[in-house]
Amino acid sequence: MKKKINRKKFLKSAAILGMGAGFLSSCSNKDTSSDIAAPSLITTKKYKWKMVTTWPPNFPVVGTGAVKYSEWVNEMTNGQVEIKVYGGGTLVPALEVFDAVTSGASEMGSGASYYWAGKNPSLQFFTTVPFGMNAQQMNSWLYAGGGMELWRELYAKYNLVPFAGGNTGVQMAGWFNKEINTLEDFKGLKMRIPGLGGKVLQEVGGTPVLSAGSEIYTNLERGVIDATEWIGPYHDYLMGFHDIAKYYYSPGWHETGSNLEIIINKRLYDGLPKSIQSILEAAAYRLNAWALAEFEAKNNEYLQKIIKESDVEIRQLNSEVLEGLFQVREKIINDLVNKDADSKRVYASYSKFQKDITDWSKFSEGLYHKVMTSRS
Ligand code: CA
């Protein structure tokens, strides 16, 4: 019996040795002695890493997704890499995740690049911008349209390696207590809406307010704010907005498919064996697919709950309002790219890809979508 276990163990470690040796021999063919010696270092070294996140602990999909990522990496490395996930504020404040990973205080992080717009405004394009690409288009740009190369290049300046780590899909425009029929209706409206979307609101006469997630419900209930956006039906339902708002508007023109991120300290990542680098990347692909599927399935389920369980009116912003917001967005993005060289370069790639893929979408997704939604 004992022999059997030892043989199993040996075969397992031999398999891992094989992977490591393959990698090493490909970069140093001449020195065969190191091919034999070095792999044992790879197999014995355990990595106990931290992942700080911008999400409240166990926040649905994004927070729980970070924990899943850590479990997948642990499984795939056969226990060699252990990642302890910290909810926002438990090890470092949520908005210090970027700095903590840059410095190596935490080896990894989970968040969204638009939180770091203050460091470099071009980083917003790697999450979402108003009237930006949807999730499918964003993934195509990142994985097959040059987006990821740009993202990696920009993050390298901050000693970071980024991976796409989930997408919210198109969000909802938000919760209102008055009708929005023209751009005029935004005048004087105090709305919780972050980022460039907030700038658009400001330009049409509203007041963007930044409230932490935990304060939004009370602020809306007490009239400190008149309206709020959050994410989509699933997370919005959990916040209880359907109990205190009259109208739930779509579509989320300001967040059309927010791409989330896993970030790794670049110096530490570069020092990893190729096999572990590859696992960290593969797990991010898995997270990216899992999170979008989870968002879509849950939003679908919870939209029905909101319809059945509340008196909220679900409405669409009309085309005049959307066109007006779009024109303001054009001005704001043009101002941004004219002021900032990185934004100019990223937007050149982003906007060309978006324009081309929108043309293609007219014939593929768009047309098909029209056929099917007209039947429902
Ligand atoms: Ca949002």
Measured in angstroms, how far is the CA atom of residue 158 from the centroid of ligand 1? Answer: 26
What pLDDT digit, counting tens, does each position of 267-291 carry?
A: 999 999 999 999 999 999 999 999 9
The alpha carbon of 250 and the centre of ligand 1 are apart by a number of angstroms equal to: 12
Residue 234 has pLDDT above 50, yes or no: yes
Q: Output the CA 147–ligand 1 centroid distance in Å.
A: 22
Mean pLDDT of 95-119: 97
Cβ 250 vs Cβ 275: under 8 Å: no
CATH number of 45-358: 3.40.190.170
Helix (H) or strand (E) holding 297, with range, is: helix 274-309
Cα 229 to ligand 1 centroid, rounded to whole Å: 6
What's the gap in Å between 232 CA and the centre of ligand 1? 8
Distance 54 CA to ligand 1 centre (A): 14
Cα 255 to middle of ligand 1, angstroms: 6
Asked whether residue 15 carries a pLDDT value surpassing 60, the answer given is no
Q: From the CB of residue 129, how many other CB atoms can be counted at a distance below 10 Å? A: 26
Beta strands in 122-199 (DSSP E): 160-167, 174-176, 190-192
55 residue type, one letter = W
Q: 19-76: per-residue pLDDT in tens?
A: 333 333 333 333 434 445 455 455 679 999 999 999 998 899 999 999 999 999 999 9
Only one residue has tokens 């349209």, namely 145
Ligand 1 center to 242 CA (angstroms): 16
Distance between CA 19 and CA 24 in Å, rounded?
9
What's the pLDDT tens digit per position in 125-141?
999 999 999 999 999 99
The helix, strand and coil proportions of the chain, stated in percent and rounded to the nearest 5, come to: 60, 15, 25
State both tokens at 346: 């990223």
Q: Looking at residues 222-242, what average pLDDT do you find?
A: 97
Q: What angle do CA 55, 233, 370 make, to 5 degrees?
A: 125
Residue range 105-124: mean pLDDT, rounded: 97
Q: Which two tokens stand for residue 147?
A: 């987006």
The residues, any chain, with a CB within 8 Å of residue 264's CB and separated by 6 or more, are 101, 107, 108, 160, 161, 163, 280
CA–centroid distance, residue 35 to ligand 1 (Å): 50
Distance, CA 289 to ligand 1 centroid (Å)? 20
Q: Provide, rounded to the nearest whole percent, the portion of the chain with pLDDT above 90.
A: 85
Q: Kind of pairing, strands 259-265 and 108-111?
A: antiparallel
Q: Give this prediction's pTM.
A: 0.87
Q: Cβ distance 256 to 354 under 8 Å? A: no
* Stretch 135-154: mean pLDDT: 98
**Ligand 1 mean position to 171 CA, how many Å?**
6
Q: Answer whether 129's CB lies under 8 Å from 196's CB.
A: yes
Predicted pLDDT of residue 43:
62
- The DSSP code sequence of 309-334 is H--PEEEE--HHHHHHHHHHHHHHHH
C-alpha 263/C-alpha 161 separation (Å) is: 6
Instruction: Over range 183-192, report the average pLDDT.
Output: 98
> 3-class SS at 262?
strand
CA of 233 to the centre of ligand 1 (A): 11
